[in-house]
Structure 1
Amino acid sequence: MSTHVKKPGWFTVHVLNRLVARLTRRGLSIRGSRVLAVRGRRSGQWRTTPVNPLTVDGERYLVAPRGHVQWTHNVRAAGGGELHLGKDVEVFTATEVADDDKPPLLRAYLQRWRAEVGAFFDGVGPDSSDEELRRVSPDHPVFRITVGN
């Protein structure tokens, strides 16, 4: 497993993420945003971060554009978490997607959110070949989420 991580800049951490999370907590979704809540794998404390769930062929996914970050480790350890939009809470279980199965999911994610996350994909975009998407797959965890289990 790669340890590739693209850390967000100060503006993203201190302004954008906080703004999106605040609006999402109040029930206003920005392009599908949700607040992910997952228990920390060491502390057991709830940790939150804004995410953009992806729906492909009726299945829902969480994609980690910045790589193997804290929330991906926590979801992997906990086996799931919660997605919040205002007062609505969806409890989900998570199954990690194999690298070879990621190209169509990464393509769909980049088609939807390239403007926000394209810089984290090393020049790979929605029009890239499956081979190029497969090359960056190990750097971007993807989880299929199932609500209600």
Structure 2
Amino acid sequence: MAEEKIKPPWWLKPMNKVFMAVLKLGVPIGGDNGPVVLTVTGRSTGKPRPVPVTPMTVDGARYVVGGFPGADWVRNARANPEATYTQNRRSRPVRLVEMSVEQARPLLRQFPTLVPTGVSFIRNAGLVTEGSPDEFEALAGRCAVFRIDPAG
């Protein structure tokens, strides 16, 4: 069975580039709970592939949700979980650990509360209609959830 892949909106790549430029300038957005740049290695090119993401903290651990099933950065992270986490011009190596469906369910349930800016994004992708915790929990197995661990 082929992996589900949802085509992102046309404006996502240009918006991501603008967003990353703003973050590189060191403009604080959202404080410690705001967006960061996660750089993963391209699975076929081997080149660094930066993507803006908004992590959430649950019980002291940081997590990130792949907003689209089959997103390139998710596929890259699965192929090579070593990544770079950049926030406020500070970068550090991390390891992305994908959560099982069972582990992802309670984390996805908290997503609408912890990352409210992500709700409209996922709603616009057609993955949820209202953005309720139940709808997000039901995305387990469709949208990847990674724990962000220190590298090493």
Per the normalisation by structure 1, the TM-score is 0.84
- Residue of structure 1 in register with 2:105 after alignment: 103
Which consecutive unaligned segments of at least 5 residues does structure 1 have? Answer: none
When residues 43 and 122 of structure 1 are mapped into structure 2, their CA distance, relative to the original with a 3 A threshold, is same
What's the Cα RMSD here?
Answer: 2.1
Q: CA deviation at 1:123?
A: 2.6
Q: Does 1:146 align with 2:149?
A: yes
Q: Report SS of the residue matched to 2:133.
A: coil
2:72 counterpart of 1:70: yes
- Please tell me whether the aligned partners of residues 5 and 139 of structure 1 are also in contact (alpha carbons under 8 angstroms): no
> Which structure 2 residues correspond to residues 50-65 of structure 1 after superposition, within 5 A?
50-65=52-67
8 Å Cα contact 1:55-1:61 kept in structure 2: yes
**Counterpart Cα distance in 2 of 1:2 and 1:141:** 15
Q: Residues 55-74 of structure 1: CA distance to partner in whole angstroms, max 9, x if unpaired? A: 11110112101122111111
Matching of residue 122 in structure 1 with residue 121 in structure 2? no
| Aligned sequence identity (%) | 28
Find the residue that maps to 2:11 and give its secondary structure: helix
TM-score normalised by the chain length of structure 2: 0.82
- Unpaired stretches in structure 2, ≥5 consecutive residues: none
More helix by share: 1
| SS of residue matched to 1:42 | coil
Contact 1:83 1:89 in 2 (8 A): yes
